[in-house]
Each structure stands twice: as C-alpha cells, then as structure tokens.
A and B are shown apart, each in its own frame.
Chain A
C-alpha cells in the first residue's frame, strides 16, 4: 500500500459517518409518515369524511417539509466515495453502482411524479387516483431504500460477484444474488419497520403538543390512535426482523456479534448480556479478561438468538482470532494467522499476475481461491480486526432498550386511546413529546451498530478501510468535515424551524 496518511482514514470515516447520520434524520420519517398519511387518506377515501382529508393534508405537509429537506443529502455520500474512498469505489465496481443507479432512477421518476400528484392534485384528480399517488409516493421511497440497503448489505456480506484482476474490480455474476441477498432482505425489513416506528412517534409527539396546547383535539386524538396502532405493529415487526437480522449477523459477521455482546470467550449455551460494566472510553483487554465485569445475563439466550438452539456454540472475540471448530455443526473459523497468510497469497498472486497477465494466467485461480480473505493480507495484528467494542456494545443496548420502550409505550397508548379520553392526561402528552428525540437516537443507534461493528472492513473480509481510502492529505478531509458540520447544522436549524412553525401556526 502506498504511503496513505492514517489520519485521513479516520477523518474520512468521521465525515462519512456525519453525512450518513445527517441523511438518516430524514429517511425514516419519510418512510414512517408515508404509511400513516396513507392510512388516513384511505379512511377518507372509504368514508368521504372531510375530517380525514384535512388530517391527511396536514400530515402530508409535514411529510413534504421533511422530504424537501432530505433531498440531495444522500448525494454527498456519493461525492465522498469518489474523493475520499476512490480505491473502494473502483474495487466494488458495478456491484455498488447498479443498485445506486436503479435507486436514482426509481427515486427520481416515481417520487417526483407521485409526490407532485399528492401535493398538487387534491382538486384536480379523482379521490382514487390521489390515494394511489399517496401510497405510491411512500412505496417509491421504500423502494429507494431497498436499493440503498442492497448496496450496503453487499458491503456486509459480499455475494454474487467475482474479482477481475485485469480491471481490479469486483464484477457482478448474479444480479439476483446481489439484489435478493438474504442479508439485504433482513436488513431492509428491519430498517423499514423501525422507520415506521419513527413516523408513529413523530405523529404522537406532534399530536401531544396539540393536546397540551388544547388545539385541534379531534385531529390529535385520532392521529394518536392511528399512530399507536402503526407503532405497535411496527414495534412487533421490528422485534421479529431485528431477531432475524441478528441471526444473519451471527452467521456472516460473528466478530460484529461478539463486539455487540462484549463476548471475549465464547461457549455453548451462551447467555445474552443485558448489561455489563464495559469501559465506554477504551477498548477492553479481551485477550486477558475472561469476560466483561459485572455482567448480568439471560442464560442460554444468545445461543438461541445466534444458533436457534439452547446449547449452540457462540464464538467470542478470542475464538475468532484463534480459530475454532464447532463439533456439533462442523462450522470452522480459520485462525487469523491463516487468514492473513491466505490474504497475502492473494495479494502476491495479484502482483505477479499484473506484471505479466499472459505468462501468469494460472495465478487467476489462486487469486480467486484466496479472494474471500484478500483484506486480511493488509492486516498486521489481531487488534486491527476487532471493532471498537464499547460503541458496538452500548449502541446495541440503546437500540434494543429504546425499541422495547416503544413497544410498551405504543401498547399503553393504544389501550388508553381505546378505553379513555386522553385529552386531559398531561403526563401522557409530555411522555409522547419526550419520545421523539429517543426515536431518532434509537434509529441512529441501529446504524451505528451495523457500521461500527463492520470495522475495520469496508467490504467484509475483502477490503479494510486503510486500503479503501484515497491517498489524500488528512487536512483536506478535515476541512470538508467541518464545512459539512456547519452546513448540516445550519440546514437542520432551518428544517426544524420550518417544521415547528408549520405545527405552531396550524
């Protein structure tokens, strides 16, 4: 590898994380509000009551503000690929490009067409056509999310591709394998259902504000009722899809699972850690500690989640470094030393092949055979392949903890809206408003677990971050990081103020 400034790796990662976190403030609300306003408009279509039309228009206006503010924030990520992550961008080739291209086309045509009908068409098209446009706007946004998540899932679990040593790119061998990767399906289902929770919490929070201010009480109460149903259903679905996602992670990214659980040494009948005193500011001494201190766990539960058996073996960080064979399933994990050896073989074969491709044509097979371990050829020590445990551990608990809180909250809320008049329950109104920032924290935490747990890889096992980044000065990346910080902060202030003004003046 050329003399890449390692600080630029950190700044490029920080910049990408900042941009992605900012972008993800808008996406879940778009996906979630789309469902709720679609339900409201469906009720209007079926009953013909003007109340439901007004309710739909109100929530569509807030949807529009969020949608407009989120426009183009994702494009910045693509700029960063081309400038900061050029080695990675080239290396992934058309596999990453194809889903993103489909997403761009679908997003542009589907959303621009149907969103326009949704906003401009109330007096101009039939109720049925308008309702169709509303649902298709949401479906278009969800379909866009699908392709983005397909691209992301390929980085977590690269399938349907073959590395071409002549072009230095991974080339797609099966579009179906990439687009319908089981990892992508689970990720999509979990991401979308958890986004519905964000939408439901948003509707509850705004409605609770109205109830506190004693404004639009009918709109608020009926909106809360619908949001509680959507939120409860979404929470149950997110619980199921989250479990499926975790199971997939256990199969294809066991190091991520070990970091999420702060599991240093694995065992059969492994317990699920509820909480432990993991130092939040330092990587634990996993090589010498038996387990995280003050650990409180649910017996056997991690084995159930990761292997679907009570006595299944779940490897810890040290097992994944030293290698292991599970006697029951026959699953074998090579020791790191062997993975490094195979990665170095792939690199050496690639170097020889590229010097004289015709004379060394036979080396193409050796490259292909060792390509799944290519990234390990850049690894020099075990520490480099272990994700930062404290962030993975706590972000996972924040996500699961808040997800459980929302499940309880929506169940209570639905019960209350069915049995009582909630207009006078101030404690409930304040609780509903307090849930809103927590919903965003929960949603962002999910991404932090997914992406921090993938470290150090940009493409799992095939390319580490330090081989993916462009050879640029860290000062350049640092400069754009702070420009983005200022820009995103400014835009967020504008968005929140426009949104708040609309809600206050309604």
Chain B
C-alpha cells in the first residue's frame, strides 16, 4: 500500500475503532454548527466590512475613533 493509502487507512481505522471518541465528535460537530452557522452568521457580522466601503475602512475607523471628536 502506498504511503498516502496507509495514512488514509490509519485515520479510517482509527475513527472506526473509537468508543468515547464518537460522543466527543458528536459534541464537536454540534458545537461547530452552533458557532459557525448560528453565532457567526446571525450574531457576529464583520462590523467594518458591513459598514465601510471597500477600500474606505481606514477612513471609517478614523471617523469612528477620532473623526467627530469634540
């Protein structure tokens, strides 16, 4: 078997032989779905990306931080 084949086989057999690992992977997958598909998409937009024009990020941040400062 080639090196790549042996590496793939190593992982496949490893995942197949898991016991507690299956539960852990289930938790990890649920967690990643919550983090990336729910939290990131719904609650954590890129604030500057959404509010500043492309190429105008520096000006936007300047206005936010010191632009209209009294």
Q: In the docked arrangement, what's the CA distance between A472 and B48, Å?
A: 11
Q: How far is the CB of A133 from chain B (nearest CB, A)?
A: 12
Contact with B along A108-121 (1 / 0, CB 8 A): 00000000100111
Cross-interface CB contact of A71 among B11, B28, B61, cutoff 8 Å: B28
User: What are the residues of chain B within 8 A of A89 when measuring CB–CB?
Assistant: 48
CB within 8 Å of A: which residues of B?
Answer: 10-11, 13-15, 17, 20-21, 23-25, 27-28, 31-32, 34-35, 39-40, 43-48, 57-59, 61-69
Chain B residues whose C-beta falls within 8 Å of the C-beta of A75 in the assembled complex: 35
Do A1 and B44 form a contact, CB below 8 Å, given A169-B58, A354-B62, A498-B23?
Answer: no
Which of B40, B68, B69: most chain A Cβ within 10 A? B69
A65-B24, A83-B44, A83-B46 known; A91-B31 Cβ under 8 A: no
Whether B47 pairs with A82 at a CB distance below 8 angstroms is: yes
Known: A120-B10, A480-B43, A498-B24. Contact between A351 and B34, CB under 8 A? Answer: no
- Residues in chain A near residue B66, CB distance under 8 A: 1, 347, 350-351, 377, 467
In this complex, which of A1, A166, A487 has the most chain B Cβ atoms within 10 angstroms of its Cβ? A1
CB-CB nearest in chain A for B12: A120
Of chain B, the residue at the smallest CB distance from A476 is B43
With a cutoff of 8 Å between Cβ atoms, the chain B residues found around residue A479 in the complex are 43
Asked whether B27 lies within 8 Å of A166 as measured between CB atoms, the reply is: no
Residues in chain B near residue A471, CB distance under 8 A:
64
Contact indicator per residue, chain A 38-67, by CB within 8 Å of chain B (1) or not (0): 000000000000000000000001001100
What B residues does A83 contact at CB under 8 A?
Answer: 43-47
- Contact present for B13 and A166 (CB under 8 Å): no
Query: Secondary structure at chain B's binding surface: helix, strand, loop or mixed?
Result: helix
- Tell me if A168 is interfacial: C-beta within 8 Å of chain B: yes
From 24 to 44 in chain A, residues with beta carbon under 8 angstroms from any chain B beta carbon are none
> What distance in Å separates the Cβ of A64 from its nearest Cβ neighbour in chain B?
7
- Cα A79 to Cα B37 in complex, Å, equals 13
**Chain A nearest Cβ from B38, distance in angstroms:** 9
Can you give 30 A-B contacts (C-beta < 8 A)? A1-B64, A1-B68, A1-B69, A2-B68, A64-B20, A64-B21, A68-B27, A69-B24, A72-B28, A72-B35, A82-B48, A83-B45, A83-B47, A84-B47, A86-B64, A87-B65, A90-B57, A120-B15, A121-B14, A168-B61, A168-B62, A354-B59, A467-B66, A480-B39, A480-B44, A491-B27, A495-B27, A498-B20, A498-B23, A498-B27
User: Nearest-CB distance from B36 to chain A (Å)?
Assistant: 8
Q: Which of B11, B43, B63, B67 contacts A116 (CB 8 A)?
A: B11
Q: Choose from B20, B47, B58 the contact partner of A167 (Cβ within 8 Å).
A: B58
* A86-B48, A90-B57, A120-B14 given; A76·B64 CB < 8 A: no
- Could you mark each residue 302-341 of chain A with 1 if its beta carbon is under 8 Å from any beta carbon of chain B, else 0? 0000000000000000000000000000000000000000
Number of interface residues of A (CB under 8 A): 49
CB of B11 within 8 A of CB of A82, answer: no
Instruction: State which of B11, B27, B43, B67 has its C-beta within 8 Å of the C-beta of A2.
Output: B67
- Min CB–CB distance B61 → chain A (angstroms): 4
A494 at the interface (CB under 8 A from B): yes
B64 lies within 8 A of A120 (CB) = no
* A467:B65 contact, CB within 8 angstroms: yes
Shortest Cβ distance from A494 into B: residue: B27
Assess the B17–A483 pair: CB atoms within 8 A: no
Chain B residues, Cβ within 8 Å of A498: 20, 23-24, 27
A502 close to chain B: CB less than 8 A:
yes
Asked if A483 contacts B47 (CB within 8 A), the reply is no
Q: Decide: A91 and B58 in contact? CB cutoff 8 A.
A: no
CA distance A370 to B16 in the complex (A): 61
Q: Are B32 and A82 closer than 8 Å at their CB atoms? A: no
